[in-house]
């Protein structure tokens, strides 16, 4: 495993090319591209403009000696019928396809997407919701096979106390992934979501096993999705890292910890990035301890 960070440690007002250079200067050789940050903007651009944007970012990464190993894809909203930005499911599907092609340009092997309930009121049984998600993501298998880019489906944290919410638990992800049954479809485990939903992180990671292709590493207080660096919340990091080692996880230890860095004044943000990189190396060293 290598330490990786999402480029969303910089807000969208800072060009992604500059973000790449500054992350590389802090020590990172693996990066995550947060497409979601630019989703609304990209909806207003042409395919050719998006391709040019992606190639410029890829060229910068290549010149800095870094590579993209994950990408957070576009997000439809809380559920498939509660779409952001007055989007339609059809236009979201087109955006998802575009994001996969952009990932191919960037050299990204795994793009993270959110499986979800059909509607906010939790309509549909568990089987119906898993079947709906399987039908939805199966549509993109031809593009996955054409580009070689994979989809990693992420555990959510919609708070199951308010309405039946699926895919917060590893068993829901496992059933969906096994139903799709394709080598280019796996899982992303978000540690912050896991602790909010009171999931045993070690057991979840071990259960996912070889299905696990990507991670969103973040800490929080167990109540709110805070996106903090390790040890700023309540997660047992030794347990997490040792579980990743135990399953032979081959991906990166990818930070989604923007609130610990992006909120810093820009004059000291690079120092915050360097600290996060060193902290990540320390956390990974826990995997070698008894």
Report pLDDT digits (tens) over 120-162: 765 678 899 999 999 999 999 999 999 999 999 999 986 554 4
- Confidence at 119, pLDDT banded by 50, 70, 90: confident
Which is nearest to 282 in space by CA: 106, 27, 61?
27
What's the full length of the chain, in residues?
Answer: 290
Of 83-87, 139-143, 252-256, the one with minimum mean pLDDT is 83-87
Question: Across the chain, what does the average pLDDT equal?
Answer: 94
For residue 281, how far is the Cα from the chain centroid?
20
Distance CA(288)–CA(283), nearest Å, equals 10
* Topology given in CATH for the domain delimited by 3-288: TIM Barrel (3.20.20)
d(CA 184, CA 177): 10
**Cα separation of 136 and 126, whole Å?**
15
CA distance 129 to 115: 9
Structure tokens at 160: 């199951």
Q: What percent of the chain has pLDDT over 90?
A: 84
* Interatomic CA distance for residues 129 and 188, integer angstroms: 19
Residue with tokens 């309540």, as numbered in its chain:
234
CB atoms within 10 A of CB 97: 16
Position 159 scores a pLDDT of 56
Percent of the chain whose pLDDT exceeds 70:
96
Separation between Cα atoms, residue 179 and residue 199, nearest integer Å? 22
pLDDT digits (tens, 9 = 90+) for 185-237: 999 999 999 999 999 999 999 999 999 999 999 999 999 999 999 999 999 99
- Distance of alpha carbon 107 from alpha carbon 130, whole angstroms: 30
SS3 category, 243: helix
Rounded to an integer, the average pLDDT of 87-96 is 90
Non-local CB neighbours of 268 within 8 Å, separated by 6+ positions? none
DSSP bridge partners of 212: 187
pLDDT value at residue 77: 81
* Token pair for 97: 């396809």
pTM over 0.75: yes
Tens-digit pLDDT profile for residues 53-66: 999 999 999 999 99
Q: Please give the pLDDT value at position 97.
A: 97
Domain map (residue ranges) of the chain: 3-288
Mean pLDDT of 106-120: 92
Report how far apart, in Å, the C-alpha atoms of 265 and of each of 11, 22, 31, 60, 270 are: 12, 15, 22, 24, 10
Give tens-digit pLDDT for 163-177.
557 899 999 999 999
pLDDT at residue 290 in the model: 83
Going by C-beta distance under 8 Å and a sequence separation of 6 or more, which residues neighbour residue 194? Answer: 155, 157, 201, 204
């Amino acid at each position: 495993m290598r330490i990786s960070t999402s480029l969303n440690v910089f807000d969208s007002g800072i060009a992604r090319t500059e973000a790449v250079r500054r992350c590389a200067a802090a020590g990172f050789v693996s990066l995550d591209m947060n497409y979601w940050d630019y989703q609304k903007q990209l909806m207003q651009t042409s395919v050719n403009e998006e391709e040019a944007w992606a190639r410029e970012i890829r060229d910068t990464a290549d010149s800095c000696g870094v590579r993209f190993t994950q990408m957070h894809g576009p997000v439809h909203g809380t559920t498939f019928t509660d779409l952001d930005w007055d989007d339609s499911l059809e236009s979201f599907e087109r955006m998802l396809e575009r994001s996969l092609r952009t990932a191919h340009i960037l050299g990204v092997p795994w793009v993270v997407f959110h499986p979800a309930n059909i509607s906010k009121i939790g309509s549909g049984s568990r089987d119906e919701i898993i079947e709906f998600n399987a039908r939805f993501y199966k549509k993109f298998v031809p593009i996955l096979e054409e580009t070689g880019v994979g989809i990693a489906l992420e555990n959510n944290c919609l708070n199951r106390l308010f309405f039946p919410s699926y895919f917060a638990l590893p068993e829901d992800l496992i059933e969906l992934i096994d139903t799709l049954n394709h080598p280019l479809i796996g899982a992303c485990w978000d540690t912050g979501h896991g602790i909010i939903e009171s999931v045993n992180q070690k057991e979840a990671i071990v259960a996912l096993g070889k299905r696990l292709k990507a991670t969103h590493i973040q800490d929080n207080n167990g109540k709110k999705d805070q996106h903090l660096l390790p040890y700023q919340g309540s997660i047992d990091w030794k347990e997490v890292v040792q579980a990743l080692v135990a399953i032979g996880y081959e991906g990166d230890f990818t930070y989604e910890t923007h609130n610990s860095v992006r909120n810093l004044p820009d004059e000291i943000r690079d120092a915050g990035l360097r600290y996060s990189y060193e902290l990540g190396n320390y956390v990974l060293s826990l995997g070698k301890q008894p």
